[in-house]
Amino acid sequence: FLYRKPAQEIVAPAGYWHDPFHIREFYEIDLFLPVLNNWTHNPLADEYKANFLEVNQVHLFGGPQDGVIDPWQSAFFAFWAPKTTHTMISMTAQSLYVHDYFGLRTMDEEGRLFQTPLPNMQHTDWLTNM
């Protein structure tokens, strides 16, 4: 359902949907993440990367009690290996990092990327001052 054109155009979370069992559909139909992360042809790829690298620091937060993000490690750009929900590929092994598609590796190598796992953080906790 989420990889159908109407869902991509109307349902905002559909753009974040990344299903390890439907990789082809993700790259071909998803209108948001593949473009934003420069995984697919994007005429603005250089501009996206330059803009990302203009940020002084990137702080990533996530945790196993998120309750919405699955896998929760994707808050740190890790994700399931294709066709499985048992094998995790770390951020540094992801193609977007290895090929530095949007500047993530550059940020990390320059010491401007920070990952903070928060074991008791739930998805909406950012709405309140904890």
**How would you write the pLDDT of the chain (130 residues) with one tens digit per residue?**
777 777 787 777 777 778 888 888 877 877 777 788 888 888 999 999 999 999 999 999 999 999 888 899 999 999 999 999 999 999 999 999 999 999 999 999 999 999 999 988 888 887 886 5
Report the distance separating Cα 23 and Cα 128, nearest Å: 35
Residue 5 host element (H or E): helix 5-10
**Residues contacting residue 83 through CB under 8 Å, at least 6 positions apart:** 20, 21, 23
User: Which tokens belong to 87?
Assistant: 């094998």
pLDDT attached to residue 125: 86
